[in-house]
Amino acid sequence: MRKKWALFTSMMALVFILAGCEPLLVLDPKGPQAERQANDILLSIGIMSVIVIVVMVILAYILIKYRASKLPDDYEPPHIHGNKWVEIVCVGVPILIVAYLSFVSVKSNYIVESTPEGYENQEPLVVYASSSDWKWHFSYPEEGIETVNYLYIPTNRPLEFKLYSYGPITSFWIPQLGGQKYAMSDMVTTLHLAADEAGEYMGRNANFSGKGFAENTFNVTAMSQADFDEWVDEVHQTAEPITESQFEKLLEPGHLGQMTFTGTHLEFSPAPEHAHNEVSEDAEENQEHSNHENHTEVETDHSGH
Amino acid sequence: MEFFERFAIPHPSPAIYASMVAIALVSIGIVAGLTYFKKWGYLWREWLTTVDHKKIGIMYLVSALLMLFRGGADAIMMRAQLATPEAKLLDAQHYNEIFTTHGVVMIIFMAMPFIFAFMNLIVPLQIGARDVAFPRLNALSFWLFFAGAMLFNISFVIGGSPDAGWTSYFPLAGNDFSESVGTNYYMLAIQISGIGSLMTGINMCTTILKMRAPGMTLMKMPMFTWSAFIANVIIVFAFPVLTVALIMGTTDRLFATNFFTTSNGGMDMLWANFFWIWGHPEVYILILPAFGLYSEIISTFSRRNLYGYSSMVWSMVLISLLSFLVWTHHFFTMGQGALTNSIFSITTMAIAVPTGVKIFNWLFTMWKGKIRFTVPMLYSVGFIPLFTIGGVTGVMLAMSAADYQYHNTMFLVAHFHNTIIPGVVFAMLAGLTYYWPKFFGFMLNEKIGKVTFWLLTVGFVLAFFPMYLTGLDGQARRMYTYSEATGFGPLNMLSFIGAALMAIGFVTIVYNVYYSFKNSSRDIGSDPWDARSLEWATHTPVPEYNFARTPQISSSETFWDSKKNGHVLFKGEIEEIHMPNNSGVPFVMGMIFLVAGFSFIFALWIPAVIALIGIFVCMAMRSFEKDHGRHISVKEIKETEEQLGGAK
């Protein structure tokens, strides 16, 4: 048993040294949602480590104390049925731990499913992120821009991703900004994120979608609102408009580099926001209007920094 | 020509051609060997037509071990491909086929027959029965499993293997995105063996409820029988969901229905829901019998009664109920919102409570015991800390907001291997070592067994613990390659080294069987481990009728009572024993199912219809057959008992 312990500790040490060169992506959050998730993860690792250690200590103690080679030959183990108090502790303590973690879990659910904390007063940037085999299409309806396989986002502003897929179920994931969510062909899902820091982040499809899955990644660049606006202007000056036939071609299975267009495919190939979402669709339109109005507000807000 | 094209493999490679040759040579070898040694008759009489639960158990066991190596070969190829960044060992298509078949083979064709092997071998003996309730149905269950397994395993040489993952999510698994026949294999092979599993579920429930020896109330059943009972109740409720989902998937692929398609009102999320309504109970179908085996082994080698018997039973009942209430945790990220996720997050974490109770009960069973570190006990002792780690990472995954970060990553892969390998695989190997002498008449070598245990344990830790880290570092599962810049390289190399150690460990099992067969003593008596429950009360090897006289039950440890407390196990005179006759119908039906499955996979309608008619003819024949079984005379029983070393 001791051998096993030594092995185990040395192995874990080795693993941490190997991994220790850089912080793990998920535990190196750059946005409020990812931070909440990283905190939950660290909290649960802490509590769970205590449980594992307690079980291991009890096990080691029992194995050392009651191994046959240490006991007299005539020792005959007693017949024990159970003890009410021991069982109450064995049920009660796990219930308390699970209750506490459930409480944290439920609270976090509502946090990650809504506009990031501290960003409630700002209008979100809405980006439609749709996947096709094996690419990502990002449509910025308010800005009238569409990109392929790369995403520019402003920092310190809530981001609302509308996810759907032209094909198999995929999962939109930028580990350092927050957890993933599925993109499916017959409905639109919403993912709330925000970036606190400017920088380049890895984004990918996390859900297996066939042959080109491994390379189904995209680059995320977070920048200040001013830089973002500059980029929007630049795109409008330099990029070509996206056409329906061109978009059809983009959808064909394969890999593409990064591309930039003006206009969005939403105009001729709208997102699958179905009848049962009619109410929210109306809400969307209203929101879009207000977004346009608020856009300037956000800008002034930013120049005030 | 077009007719034959469909049987070609869409993505051939030298490795596949080599396997084709190997399969052909092995088949020829088997046929030639059987003919040369004149064993065809023996094979037919003793195995293909048998309805004896012990022989069926052994056939399950052998199949499970073969499939373990098949799935293991898949695993080592995957780890080798991922050991270095941008490796060229496998291309994306091969990698996708390999991880798909790895998952299906390991769950459906390795773990399932392994637990069925122990249920068949042990349950009738533990309850003092002569066989299962429906012996012929039992044989049919095995042959359906066998047909499914064969069908699935020929996929990579005829027509191509499934490549949409073992979860086979639609629309990826639909015709639009999976054009080869691979997913047809998936649908039909699992369907056929699934029908077999459902029959076993019904059979075992009936056996356990109706055929217990006098005095054995439910709360006096040995723990393995309890675990088998609960697992089979789950089978009866969960497998029909899979059956229906597979039929819908099959008709989507073969008859252009639109259950899971992306157009015409199809709903891709429906498959994921159906799949996991079966899939989550399925993991408890596998783990509960494993828990049962650990309970038997820990109690035997601690020389103590099982601590907290009734809380063990109730925790299993609770787990079986909760297992049906957690399926959504497999896709917290589907966008069902905070409320739904919260509910399923809580139900999932709740399972930790009864599971924790079991862990503590095992610990307290060892407390004040007299612990012998035999090979089965080593596996059980290794299981406790490793499974605890697997369990607590499960609780971490159950925190749905955090799961958005774990989902679809290597963290998840590490978690479920962390529960299945120390949980199920270690239990099966522990059970294999523990029960080997009962069925084969000699012990497996302890020294080699210990080497195996350490190779597997160290290999397991090296192979899977790094995945927790790469998962948190953003390595998605099912990626066939990654760039050097990601930094996943060193940890994946470590995983590969671990996988290689495990591979060596599994090979030592085969060597152990060979070595022990040649060198182990045959004079081991009927109770080599000084065990406690009823299965050890009869002779080794177990006679066809199990017990010459029906045992009288005093407690869940009747045999121990008879050894230590003077309980009289066998009373009265030996009487004639009524046993079922052998039958070739289950085997023939299994083979017809194989033909039917193959024909459906390739849309060969004429043979498909003929095979379906054949199945109904077999069923009709059984209905009109007059077979009342046979009687073993008292004289014959006494002779057998004498041969085995005195009447019991």
pLDDT digits (tens, 9 = 90+) for B447-472: 999 999 999 999 999 999 999 999 99
For residue A78, count other CB atoms closer than 10 A to its CB. Answer: 9
Measured CA to CA, the distance from residue B509 to residue B65 in angstroms comes to 10
The residues near B78 (Cβ < 8 Å, ≥ 6 apart) are: B90, B95, B98, B99, B102
**B606 inside domain:** no
**What's the pLDDT at A296?**
38
Measured CA to CA, the distance from residue B196 to residue A254 in angstroms comes to 41
Sheet with A178-183, strands from edge to edge, namely A150-154, A217-223, A199-205, A170-174, A178-183
Measured CA to CA, the distance from residue A255 to residue A149 in angstroms comes to 10
Most confident of B115-124, B258-267, B628-637: B115-124
Tell me the backbone φ, ψ of residue B578, rounded to 5 degrees.
-95, 120
Lookup: tokens for A276: 């049962």
Q: How many domains does chain B have?
A: 1
Picking from B333, B322, B319, the residue whose alpha carbon sits closest to that of residue B272 is B333
**What's the pLDDT at A84?**
84
CATH number of the domain that residue B134 is part of: 1.20.210.10
**What's the pLDDT at B3?**
75
Sheet with A125-132, strands from edge to edge, namely A189-193, A159-166, A125-132, A135-140, A145-148, A259-262, A240-241
The answer to whether the Cβ–Cβ distance between B371 and A37 falls below 8 Å is no
The C-alpha angle B360, B278, A274, rounded to 5 degrees, equals 125
The answer to whether the Cβ–Cβ distance between B403 and A7 falls below 8 Å is no
Measured CA to CA, the distance from residue B195 to residue B318 in angstroms comes to 26
B contact test, residue of A10, A22, A182 with most B CBs within 10 A: A182
Closest chain B residue by Cα to residue A37: B402
Write the DSSP symbol of residue A261: E
Closest-CA distance, A224 to chain B, in angstroms, reads 25
Average pLDDT score over chain B: 94
Q: What is the pLDDT of residues A255-302, one digit of tens each?
A: 999 999 999 999 999 998 864 444 444 444 444 444 444 443 333 344
**B531 inside domain:** no
The predicted model gives A139-157 an average pLDDT of 96
Residues β-bridged to residue A140: A145
Picking from B354, B335, B357, B332, the residue whose alpha carbon sits closest to that of residue B343 is B332
Picking from B413, B141, B473, B266, the residue whose alpha carbon sits closest to that of residue A175 is B473
Residue A140 parent element (H or E) = strand A135-140
Lookup: tokens for B293: 């085996």
Strands A125-132 and A178-183: unpaired
Percent of chain A clearing pLDDT 70 (strictly above): 83
**Nearest Cβ partner of B487 from A1, A7, A21?**
A21
Strands A240-241 and A217-223: unpaired
- Reduced to 3 states (helix: H, G, I; strand: E, B; else coil), residue B477 is coil
Q: Which residue has the higher pLDDT, A223 or B24?
A: A223
Closest chain B residue by Cα to residue A172: B333
Is the model's pLDDT at A128 over the cut of 90?
Answer: yes
Average pLDDT score over chain A: 86
Contact of A204 with chain B, judged by CB distance below 8 Å, is answered with yes
Domain that residue B400 falls in: 2-520
**What's the pLDDT at A274?**
65
Residues β-bridged to residue A129: A138, A163
Residues 104-163 on A with a CB inside 8 Å of B are 104-106, 108-114, 133, 163
The answer to whether the Cβ–Cβ distance between B369 and A181 falls below 8 Å is no
Q: Is the peptide bond before B466 cis (omega within 30 degrees of 0)?
A: no
Write the DSSP symbol of residue A123: P
Residue B202 CB burial class (10 angstroms; 0-12, 13-18, ≥19): middle
- In contact, B648 and B539? CB cutoff 8 Å: yes
**What's the pLDDT at A286?**
44
The answer to whether the Cβ–Cβ distance between A22 and B480 falls below 8 Å is no
**What's the pLDDT at B270?**
93
**What's the pLDDT at B266?**
87
Band of residue B1 on the pLDDT scale cut at 50, 70, 90: low
Helix axes B268-302, B352-366, angle to 10 degrees: 10
The answer to whether the Cβ–Cβ distance between B389 and A52 falls below 8 Å is yes
Lookup: tokens for B324: 């049906």
For residue A231, count other CB atoms closer than 10 A to its CB. Answer: 17
Measured CA to CA, the distance from residue B189 to residue B107 in angstroms comes to 13
**B405 inside domain:** yes
For residue B577, count other CB atoms closer than 10 A to its CB. Answer: 21
- Reduced to 3 states (helix: H, G, I; strand: E, B; else coil), residue A217 is strand
For residue B266, list chain A residues with Cβ-Cβ distance below 8 A.
186
Alpha helices in B557-633 (DSSP H): 558-564, 585-601, 605-624
**What's the pLDDT at B501?**
97
**B49 inside domain:** yes
**What's the pLDDT at B23?**
84
Measured CA to CA, the distance from residue B90 to residue B78 in angstroms comes to 8
**Nearest Cβ partner of A52 from B171, B392, B408?**
B392
**Nearest Cβ partner of B335 from A181, A205, A211?**
A181
Structure pTM?
Answer: 0.92
Measured CA to CA, the distance from residue A216 to residue A207 in angstroms comes to 10
Q: Which residue has the higher pLDDT, A292 or A202?
A: A202
Tell me the backbone φ, ψ of residue B632, rounded to 5 degrees.
-95, 125
Q: What is the pLDDT of residues B378-425, one digit of tens each?
A: 999 999 999 999 999 999 999 999 999 999 999 999 999 999 999 999
Measured CA to CA, the distance from residue B416 to residue B274 in angstroms comes to 20
Q: What is the pLDDT of residues B215-268, one digit of tens each?
A: 999 999 999 999 999 999 999 999 999 999 999 999 999 999 999 988 888 898
The predicted model gives B68-75 an average pLDDT of 95
- In contact, A80 and B368? CB cutoff 8 Å: yes
**B103 inside domain:** yes
**B513 inside domain:** yes
Write the DSSP symbol of residue B172: T
**What's the pLDDT at B71?**
95
Strands A189-193 and A150-154: unpaired
**What's the pLDDT at A14?**
54
Lookup: tokens for B621: 């024949």
Residues in chain A, overall count: 305
Contact of A76 with chain B, judged by CB distance below 8 Å, is answered with yes
Which of A67-71, B4-8, B143-147, B556-560 has the weakest average pLDDT?
B4-8
Task: Using the structure block, give the residue that is written with the tokens 């996708």.
Answer: B96
**B647 inside domain:** no
Contact of A66 with chain B, judged by CB distance below 8 Å, is answered with yes
Contact of A11 with chain B, judged by CB distance below 8 Å, is answered with yes
Measured CA to CA, the distance from residue B356 to residue B338 in angstroms comes to 27
Is the model's pLDDT at A189 over the cut of 90?
Answer: yes
Contact of A73 with chain B, judged by CB distance below 8 Å, is answered with no
The predicted model gives B2-7 an average pLDDT of 77
Lookup: tokens for B370: 């007299």
**3-state helix, strand and coil shares in percent for chain B, rounded to the nearest 5:** 70, 0, 30
The answer to whether the Cβ–Cβ distance between B331 and A81 falls below 8 Å is no
Q: What is the ipTM of this complex?
A: 0.92
Sketch out chain A's domains with CATH numbers. 22-112 (1.10.287.90), 125-296 (2.60.40.420)
